[in-house]
C-alpha cells in the first residue's frame, strides 16, 4: 500500500462538497471496496436461501445497507462483521420464509434494490410498498413491472414511477420474455420471480448485460441454463447457503483507472478487482483510446466471479467513436470516461446512450454541464454527446446529488489548471464510502466543505 499523503479533511452536516486542488500525480496501490451489484445479490439470495450465507468483502455502502435493512424488516437476520467476525452472515429464511414488513420499505437512492426486490416481492404471500429518496422516486419502474405482470404479478406504480405497490401473490407462471433492451436489473427481477413461478422462466436479451445473477444463482445450487443471449430457470428452485467472496468493484476502480491514465508518473495498481467480461467494457474503451492497462487475472472468487489486479500507466489518449454496444457494457463508467475524452487528443463521439438520461441524474446533461463548467468543448445530443479534447480549467461543478458525477469531476481536477469545487457530494456514500480517502492516499488533495 502507498504511504499516507495529504489527509482528507472535512466536517459533517449541511450540503457536502469537495474542493479539489488542481494537478498532481497518482501513484501507489489500493484495494477498492466490494462490487455493489454483487453485494446486493449476495444479501438477497442469502436471505431466501436455506442455511447461513457468509459474505467476504461485502460493500457496506448506503445502497447495500438499504437492501440489508429491507430484508431485515422482512425477517432475515443479517450480522455485520463486528457481530459475525471477519464476514457478513445472512441467516436465510428459505424461499417461502419472508414476512410482511411493518411499513413501507425505504430503499434510499438504490435503483438496484427497488428493481430486484420488486421481482422478489411480487411472488410473496403479503403485500408491500417500495419507496425511496427524491431521486429514486423519479426513476422509471415500468420496465420491471411490465414483464412481472405478464407472470401474474399485481404491481402498481405512479405514472410509471415509485412508489411501487405490490399486492400479495396469487401465483406466478413462468414466461418466455423477449426483452426490448438489454438490462441486468430487469433480467434479474424476472429470474427472482421465476424462482417461485410455475414452469420455466426464460429471458432473451438483444445484447449482453451483466450476468451476476446467473452466476450467483448457480453458486447457490439453482440449475441455470444459458444459451447465447437467453437464460432460463425452472421452479421450484431452492437455494443452498454457502460462502461468497465479493470482488472489488470495477465501476469504482474506473475512477482511478482513468485518473492513472491521465496523471500517473509511477503507475497505479488496483488489487482484487472483479473482471467479469460483462463489466470490462470500460477497460476495452480506454484501451481503444490508447490506455496502457494490464490485467493480471487471479483464481476465480467464491461465487463464480473472475478477479484480477489491474495495473495502469500514464497514457496518451485519443478520441474515438463510442456506440450503443460500447455504452451497454460501460453504462456506469460513462461519466468518468467523458472526463477522459475531454482530456484526450481529438474528438470523441457518443451515440446510443439514451439510458443515461434516467439514471440518478440525467447523466448526459449533467456530464455536459460539468465539462462546460471546466472549459471543455462539448455538444449535447439526444442520445449522447460530442466531446472535443483539450485542456480543463478550474471551476464549480454541480453533481446534482449523483455519486458517479461527483467522483468523475473530482478526478477531472487532476487535469485542471485551477481548483475544482464539486457540489453535492453526499451521495458518494451510496456506492463508494471512503472514495476521498482512497484518492488522497494516491496523491490527490481534497478538502470536504460544508456549504450553507
* CATH homologous superfamily of 15-34+248-451: Enolpyruvate transferase domain (3.65.10.10)
> Which residue out of 35, 56, 309, 332 is catalytically annotated?
332
User: For 446, left (φ over 0), alpha (ψ -120 to 50), or beta?
Assistant: beta
- pLDDT tens, 71-97? 999 999 999 998 656 899 999 999 999
Contact present, 197 and 172 (Cβ < 8 Å): yes
Amino acid 85: pLDDT = 63
> For 202-215, how does the pLDDT look when each residue is reduced to its tens digit (9 = 90+)?
999 999 999 999 99
All 3 cell numbers of residue 83?
Answer: 457481530
User: What backbone phi and psi angles, to 5 degrees, belong to 9?
Assistant: -125, 155
The reported pLDDT for the residue numbered 14 is 66
Domain ranges of the chain: 15-34+248-451, 37-244
Q: What SS3 class is residue 75?
A: coil
Selection from 274, 213, 223 nearest residue 57 by Cα: 274
Q: What's residue 230's pLDDT?
A: 98
Does 402 qualify as catalytic in the annotation?
no
The closest alpha carbon to 364, from 375, 374, 376, 352, belongs to: 352
37-244: CATH, from 3.40.50.720, 1.10.443.10, 3.40.50.1980, 3.65.10.10: 3.65.10.10
pLDDT at residue 3, rounded to an integer: 30
Residues in the chain with pLDDT values less than 50: 1-13
Amino acid at each position: 500500500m502507498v504511504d499516507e499523503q495529504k489527509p482528507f479533511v472535512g466536517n459533517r452536516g449541511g450540503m457536502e462538497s469537495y474542493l479539489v486542488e488542481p494537478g498532481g500525480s497518482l501513484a501507489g496501490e489500493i484495494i477498492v471496496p466490494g462490487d455493489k451489484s454483487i453485494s446486493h445479490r449476495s444479501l438477497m439470495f442469502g436471505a431466501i436461501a436455506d442455511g447461513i450465507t457468509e459474505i467476504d468483502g461485502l460493500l457496506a455502502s448506503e445502497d447495500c445497507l438499504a437492501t440489508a435493512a429491507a430484508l431485515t424488516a422482512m425477517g432475515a437476520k443479517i450480522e455485520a462483521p463486528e457481530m459475525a467476525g471477519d464476514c457478513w452472515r445472512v441467516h436465510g429464511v428459505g424461499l417461502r420464509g419472508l414476512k410482511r414488513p411493518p411499513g413501507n420499505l425505504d430503499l434510499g437512492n438504490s435503483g438496484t434494490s427497488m428493481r430486484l426486490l420488486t421481482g422478489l416481492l411480487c411472488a410473496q404471500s403479503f403485500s408491500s410498498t417500495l419507496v425511496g429518496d427524491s431521486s429514486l422516486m423519479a426513476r422509471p419502474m415500468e420496465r420491471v413491472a411490465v414483464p412481472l405482470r405478464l407472470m401474474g404479478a399485481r404491481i402498481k406504480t405512479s405514472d410509471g414511477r415509485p412508489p411501487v405497490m405490490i399486492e400479495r401473490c396469487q401465483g406466478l407462471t413462468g414466461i418466455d420474455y423477449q426483452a426490448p433492451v438489454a438490462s441486468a436489473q430487469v433480467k434479474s427481477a424476472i429470474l427472482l420471480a421465476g424462482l417461485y413461478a410455475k414452469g420455466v422462466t426464460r429471458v432473451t436479451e438483444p445484447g449482453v448485460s451483466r450476468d451476476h445473477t446467473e452466476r450467483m444463482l448457480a453458486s447457490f445450487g439453482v440449475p441455470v441454463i444459458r444459451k447465447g443471449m437467453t437464460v432460463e430457470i425452472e421452479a421450484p428452485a431452492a437455494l443452498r447457503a454457502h460462502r461468497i467472496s465479493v470482488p472489488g468493484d470495477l465501476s469504482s476502480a474506473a475512477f482511478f483507472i482513468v485518473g492513472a491514465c491521465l496523471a500517473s508518473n509511477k503507475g497505479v495498481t488496483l488489487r482484487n478487482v472483479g473482471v467479469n467480461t460483462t463489466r470490462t467494457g470500460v477497460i476495452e474503451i480506454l484501451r481503444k483510446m490508447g490506455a496502457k492497462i494490464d490485467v493480471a487475472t487471479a483464481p476465480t472468487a467464491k461465487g463464480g466471479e473472475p478477479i484480477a489486479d489491474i495495473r495502469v500507466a500514464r497514457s496518451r489518449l485519443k478520441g474515438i467513436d463510442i456506440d450503443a454496444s460500447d455504452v451497454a457494457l460501460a453504462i456506469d463508467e460513462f461519466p468518468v470516461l467523458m472526463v477522459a475524452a475531454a482530456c484526450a487528443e481529438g474528438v470523441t463521439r457518443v451515440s446510443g446512450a439514451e439510458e443515461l438520461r434516467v439514471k440518478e441524474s440525467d447523466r448526459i446533461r449533467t456530464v455536459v454541464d460539468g465539462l462546460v463548467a471546466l472549459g471543455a468543448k462539448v455538444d449535447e445530443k439526444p442520445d449522447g454527446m460530442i466531446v472535443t479534447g483539450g485542456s480543463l480549467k478550474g471551476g464549480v461543478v454541480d453533481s446534482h446529488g449523483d455519486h458517479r458525477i461527483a467522483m468523475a469531476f473530482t478526478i477531472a481536477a487532476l487535469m485542471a489548471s485551477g481548483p475544482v469545487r464539486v457540489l453535492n457530494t453526499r451521495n458518494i456514500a451510496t456506492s463508494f464510502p471512503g472514495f476521498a480517502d482512497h484518492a488522497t492516499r494516491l496523491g490527490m488533495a481534497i478538502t470536504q466543505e460544508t456549504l450553507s
